[in-house]
Amino acid sequence: QVQLQESGPGLVKPSETLSLTCTVSGASIKNYYWSWIRQPPGRGLEWIGYIYYSGSTNYNPSLKSRVTISIDTSKNQFSLKLNSVTPADTAVYYCARVMPTRNPRLDYWGQGTLVTVSS
Amino acid sequence: SYVLTQPPSVSVAPGQTARIPCGGNNIGSKSVHWYQQKPGQAPVLVVYDDSDRPSGIPERFSGSNSENTATLTISRVEAGDEADYSCQVWDSISDHPVVFGGGTKLTVL
């Protein structure tokens, strides 16, 4: 059974960097894409970006200047860094596996972690 | 980037059929995936590639896709189906390939 678990601070100050890690268990991180998605309170899902196990990345253009996603295959983990955060970045952050088919879908999700941006 | 449009809410009585639309320009040419999200929980994939179901998803969940509208259909609706439902496509020619609809709140009356 594939499981994903997000970890990281639940409170970040404005202008600082949000850092989260997703630990994957029950499956190898290799041969898949891995994604970060967020959901502001009361709103819909927003794709942040994804990374392939080889290290290639693709980011949401609206966040690209502030986002870095990295991967550590030895630890079966991938990570998100979002810098210069503002209260608008307050959201539940999810990590998910991307099934690498012709029309990729997100087949396994972490439980999500709420990150609040506030001083 | 590609835009998916969903109504904010749909209501249905128990035992009836719920239909949740997802609109997009020529969406019929794309494959649509659907996610169910209950309060405080992560999204769960309930339909993929327009009409296929992952293992463990009841047959009551089905999907269709044609022209400018994809539809998630839930037959014999139960109270436990009350949730937010979001559609998603992969826009391969875009620099924003993962696109979600805004989500629809299904209320079971």
- Contacts of residue A70, defined as CB under 8 A and 6 or more positions apart, other chains included, come to A51, A55, A78, A79, A81
Backbone φ and ψ for A72, nearest 5 degrees, come out as -130, 95
pLDDT tens digits, A2-33 = 999 999 999 999 999 999 999 999 999 998 99
- Contacts of residue A65, defined as CB under 8 A and 6 or more positions apart, other chains included, come to none
Could you write out the DSSP letters of every residue in A49-94?
A: EEEETTS-EEE-TTTTTTEEEEEETTTTEEEEEE-S--GGG-EEEE
pLDDT bin (cut points 50, 70, 90) of residue B67 is very high
Rounded to a whole number of angstroms, the distance from the CA of A39 to the nearest CA of chain B is 10
Rounded to a whole number of angstroms, the distance from the CA of A107 to the nearest CA of chain B is 6
Could you write out the DSSP letters of every residue in B61-96?
A: EEEEEETTEEEEEESS--GGG-EEEEEEEE-TTSSS
The pLDDT of residue B95: 82
Contact B93/A at CB under 8 A: no
Contact B3/A at CB under 8 A: no
Beta strands A113-117 and A11-12 are: parallel
Inter-chain touch B101–A58, beta carbons under 8 Å: no
- Which of B96, B97, B100 is opposite residue A45, by nearest beta carbon? B100
Tokens of B33: 């995936």
What are the distances in angstroms from CA B11 to CA B8, B54, B72, B104? Answer: 10, 25, 14, 10
What are the distances in angstroms from CA A79 to CA A22, A41, A103, B52, B82? Answer: 6, 22, 24, 31, 33
Contact B102/A at CB under 8 A: yes
Beta strands B9-12 and B104-108 are: parallel
- Greatest Cα pair distance in chain B: 42
Inter-chain touch A103–B90, beta carbons under 8 Å: yes
Task: State the average pLDDT over residues A74-96.
Answer: 97
Q: What length is written for chain B? A: 109
pLDDT tens digits, A20-78 = 999 999 999 998 999 999 999 999 999 999 999 999 999 999 999 999 999 999 999 99
Could you write out the DSSP letters of every residue in B46-60?
A: EEBTTTB--TT--TT
The pLDDT of residue B93: 83
What is d(CA A12, CA B72) in angstroms, rounded to the nearest whole number? 38
